[in-house]
Amino acid sequence: MKKGFVFTLDAIIAFVLAIIVLGALAEIRADESGGNNRILKLQQTSLDVLNTLDKDGTLNNLFEQTDEDATTTLETTLNELLQAKLKGRIKIDTYQYETGGTCTTCTLSGSTPTNNFCHCRSFNTPLIAKSPAASSKRVFYYSNNKPTVGIATIQVWQE
Amino acid sequence: MRGIFITASVALWLSLLLSLAVLQTEDASRQVEVKNLLATEKIAYTWNDVSEELPDVLDVKIEINEKKASFKDNLPATANFPEALGAFETFIKNHYAPKKLQFSFEPQPSSTPPRIHINPLGFYYKYPSWDKTSLEVNSSMQNFAFLQSLTVNLNITSHDFNEAFSGLCAGGDWDSYTTCTGGTTYCLSLNLNIEDRQGTTYQSTCTPLDLDYENIIVIDLINETSTTQLTLRFGALSNRLFSLERPQTTVNSTLELNFNTTAFEAELDLNLIVKDAETNRLKNGKTTP
């Protein structure tokens, strides 16, 4: 009887352990899936914000503003577009086409063009992104007199 | 009895191992699925983003609103468009696109500018040459039936009118004008407004036009240094709805084509191909501004 009791106990323990391990695995998987969904939602929000900024002309208007004014514009617009619990940071970089081999006015990344483009401006809104954050980019074309192009990079995260 | 319990215990552990193996396999296949999904989304988003910027490169604004397609343009070209398009392509490849994405235009824009196609109605807004000294709107004549009216607004920024307008059509302001009759196949309702540098306006009351005939209005222009003419033609030549020739003048033009349907879209006659090198997924299509 004693031996039988030990074996029964062994089987019960094995069963309980199996249930615990399976439960833990299921929980981890649920967490991972929830985390992925959150990031995907943030990603979609970040794309929507950039799309809106491009379509309503905000991005192109930045070329006419000083870095300081442009940053304020972006900060205000970002706060209007994002839901209350979301925060964001936008970085703008602008480049000008240069075939002469030397950057004269746009020398942010040195005086040698990279693939025929000189880096003109770079500024960003002040908040620092918290992990996990979703990130997206959008290109916007300003002028074809001397081709000038910008890249907006956004990070969105939950407070 | 002992054997039964040992068997049960081993079976439990084996089933646990089996479950783990199944979960692991599921995870691996889900990861591939997510990777493909993300690649597809990235391709689609990047394709749309680049595609939407192309009209800016060509310095033309295209708007579709219900039954109306409007084109805001600046003539002549103020830039070297093939160079601008090439520069934009270079920028996309080297500064913007994720490293794994490959970009190309097809055909490579070279001798002739890409047309803007109103699809599926078969109308084309196009420039005969990259310098934009003239523009045309063409379509097979049977497609003219889709068009309810055409509005042409021209703002001449370099010259003034060098003629007085009589308000008369045939034999008056128009060099050639034929109105619609019972036998007209395609009849165009036209709103034509032209403003010169000083803000003087000419609004044509000559409408409708019989498109079976060539209707021409030539406007004499003058400024401090030159005299020139602006020529507008409607109909007659095979497939021509409208053309504008403007040697030596600067014109901001707005064309509004009002159709009898909302089922159309504008697309640039230029294929943009975006391909993910890792997953071999791609999007290849005419760019839709």
How large is the average pLDDT for residues A111-126? 91
| CA pair distance B3, A4, nearest whole angstrom | 10
The answer to whether A3 contacts chain B (CB < 8 Å) is: yes
Q: What is the mean pLDDT of residues B107-119?
A: 81
Residue contact B57–A144, C-beta within 8 A: yes
Nearest CA in chain A to B45: A47
Residue B32 corresponds to which tokens in the numbers above? 């591939």
Q: What ipTM goes with this model?
A: 0.76
Residues of chain A contacting residue B92, judged by C-beta atoms under 8 Å apart: 139
Q: Is B15 on the interface with A (CB under 8 A)?
A: yes
Q: Compute the mean pLDDT over every residue in chain B, rounded to the nearest whole number.
A: 88
Which range (B16-30, B126-140, B193-207) has the least confidence?
A: B16-30
Cβ of B94 within 8 Å of Cβ of A8? The answer is no
The mean per-residue pLDDT over the stretch A44-48 comes to 90
Instruction: Give the lowest-confidence range in A92-96, B153-157, B256-260, B269-273.
Output: B269-273
Give the dihedral sign, CA B124/B129/B135/B140.
Answer: negative
Contact between residue B24 and residue A26 where contact means Cβ atoms under 8 Å apart: no
- The span from the first CA to the last CA of chain A, in angstroms, equals 61
B92-95, Cβ contacts within 8 angstroms, sequence gap of 24 or more? B92/A139, B92/B50, B93/A115, B94/A114, B94/A115, B94/A117, B95/A95, B95/A114, B95/A115, B95/A117, B95/A149, B95/A151
**pLDDT, tens only, A73-112:** 999 999 999 988 899 999 999 999 988 889 988 888 888 8
Positions of E strands within chain A = 86-97, 117-124, 133-143, 148-158
**Cβ <8 Å between A18 and B12:** yes
pTM strictly above 0.90: no
Position A22 pLDDT exceeds 80 = no
Check B1 against A138: CB less than 8 A apart: no
pLDDT of residue B124: 96
What percent of chain A shows pLDDT beyond 90? 38
